Amino acid sequence: MPFKVIKQNILKFNEDRADKIRRTLDKRGVFMVNIISSPGSGKTTLLEKVTPLLKSEEISFAILAGDCFTSNDAVRLDKAGAKVTQINTGNACHIDAQLIQKALKEVNIGELDFVIVENVGNMVCPAEFDLGEDCKIALLSVPEGHDKPLKYPLLFKESELVIINKLDLLKQTDFDLEQCEKNIFKVNPKVCILKMSCRNGRGINAFVKWIKERISNKNKSFDLATS
Amino acid sequence: MHELTITKNLISVLEKETVSHEIGKVKNVYLEVGKMRYIVPEIMNASFENMPKCEKLKGAKLKIKILPIMIQCVNCKKEFELDEYEDFCRSCNSKGNTCIISGDEFNLKGIEW
């Protein structure tokens, strides 16, 4: 039988689009993160808590909130005072670069310092799709168990920051915090870990500080590139 | 579930690659996918079968080869096959100093017609 050698990445179309997004954001010095976690781990609550703090720091930001069908999260974030664009993925369990391209057209990126993508709740599929972000953030909550980093290594390997949320529930569960950190470092020894409880506020300020530093680093490289 | 979107991407690539008159009705599509990509071949096959595609691709079969997770230590150059990924060298104990040599592929290798 005749054979044709192709040798191409199956996700090339997505990756080409993601590169385009990255170049657009780099040109304007906009920092973008892609937050990935299981459903119910606290992504939206975290963003609700962070919104007023970012506003008081005069950081101009937009949230692109992914959800299969509803706009529940976008409504919550809108109430909290954030600029939100809803991305409904329908049957898809993740956001891809094409959806981000579309959503970015609805926000004026020239006015922004920062874009937050709240991905669809899922630890497997979203990790596969590059969205053109500067970095991925993995969010893991105490009730999910400390073995998650080993079960979903791709997400934890690709993330620059891991947030362990719902620490207020430590006493009610068998979650082993030390073992969890060991598991995270096993797949990604260089990652930064932030311990958090959106309920009692622990770690929220540290997260805002991390965001501010990353925005300022991006601005610096942007200034260097344009000067 | 991501098999659906991945298959859609695959069909777009294949439709471009099979435009040439020399290529007839495709029988087999060869893929190499790393273990870390969590692909379930059965779901990928079913997605491919049921998704709309050009005439040349109808009836084609996916031949999916799952590649093992292999890392190489940058420090001591030793290679290891792993069941669960870790960025750690079992030989010289260095951490965060390995590179993946297999296990994260998502490649279309070729087609047979």
pLDDT, residue B42, reads: 95
Q: Which residues of B touch A9 (CB under 8 A)?
A: 106-108
Instruction: Give the model confidence (pLDDT) of B24-33 as tens digits.
Output: 999 999 999 9
Can you give the C-alpha Rg of chain A in angstroms? 18
Give me the pLDDT at residue A224, please. Answer: 76
Mean residue pLDDT of chain A comes to 94
Residues from B in contact with A at Cβ < 8 Å: 1-2, 4-6, 9-10, 12-13, 17, 22-24, 27-28, 31, 36-38, 84-88, 95-96, 104, 106-113
Strand partners, A116: A33, A63
Q: Which residue of B has its CA nearest to A5?
A: B110
What was the pLDDT predicted at A62? 97
Q: What percent of chain A has pLDDT over 90?
A: 86
Q: pLDDT digits over A148-171, tens only?
A: 999 999 999 999 999 999 999 999
Alpha-carbon distances, residue B72 vs A27, A190, B12, B84 (angstroms):
36, 17, 34, 14
- What's residue A44's pLDDT? 96
CB contact under 8 A, A187 and B86: yes
Alpha carbons B97 and B10: distance in angstroms, whole number: 33
The predicted model gives B18-22 an average pLDDT of 92
Tell me what the mean pLDDT of segment A56-74 comes to. Answer: 92
pLDDT at A227 over 80: no
Contacting residues of B for A185, CB less than 8 Å apart: 95
Q: Read off the pLDDT of residues A177-223 as tens digits, 9 standing for 90 and up.
A: 999 999 999 999 999 999 999 999 999 999 999 999 999 999 887 77
Q: How far apart are CA B113 and CA A3, in angstroms?
A: 7
Whole-number pLDDT of residue A13: 87
What residues of A are in contact with residue B104 (Cβ under 8 Å)? 154
Among chain B residues, the shortest Cα distance to A3 is held by B112
Q: Is the pLDDT of residue B1 over 80?
A: no
- pLDDT score at A1: 84
Say yes or no to pLDDT of A21 above 90.
yes
Which of residues 168 through 207 in chain A touch B, CB cutoff 8 A? Answer: 185-190
A/B interface, count of CB pairs below 8 Å: 101
**Does residue A130 contact residue A167 with C-beta atoms inside 8 Å?**
no
pTM: 0.92
pLDDT the model gives residue A221: 79
pLDDT band at A130 (very low <50, low <70, confident <90, very high): very high
For A96, which residue in chain B has the nearest alpha carbon?
Answer: B5
Say if A135 is an interface residue toward chain B (CB within 8 Å). no
Distance CA A199, CA B104 (A): 37
pLDDT of residue A222: 76
Contacts of A184 (CB under 8 A, 6+ apart): A149, A156, A162, A191, A193
Q: How confident is the model at residue A95 (pLDDT cuts 50, 70, 90)?
A: very high
Q: Give CA separation, A158 vs A121, A149, A227, B13, in Å.
A: 17, 11, 32, 25
Q: How confident is the model at residue A68 (pLDDT cuts 50, 70, 90)?
A: confident
- Residue A124 has its nearest CB partner, among B2, B84, B112, at B2
- Residues A135, A218 contacting (CB under 8 angstroms): no
Q: Which residues of A touch B113 (CB under 8 A)?
A: 1-2, 4
Which residues between 139 and 168 in chain A have a beta carbon less than 8 angstroms from any beta carbon of chain B? 150, 153-154, 157
What pLDDT is recorded for position A219?
Answer: 84
Q: Using CB atoms, which residue from A5, A9, A153 is nearest to B106?
A: A9
Q: What is the mean pLDDT of residues B64-89?
A: 96
Chain A residue with CA closest to B109: the answer is A7
Task: Place B80 in a pLDDT band, splitting at 50, 70 and 90.
Answer: very high
CA–CA gap between residue A85 and residue A62 (Å, rounded): 8
ipTM of this model? 0.83
The rounded distance, in Å, linking the Cα atoms of B72 and A43 is: 35
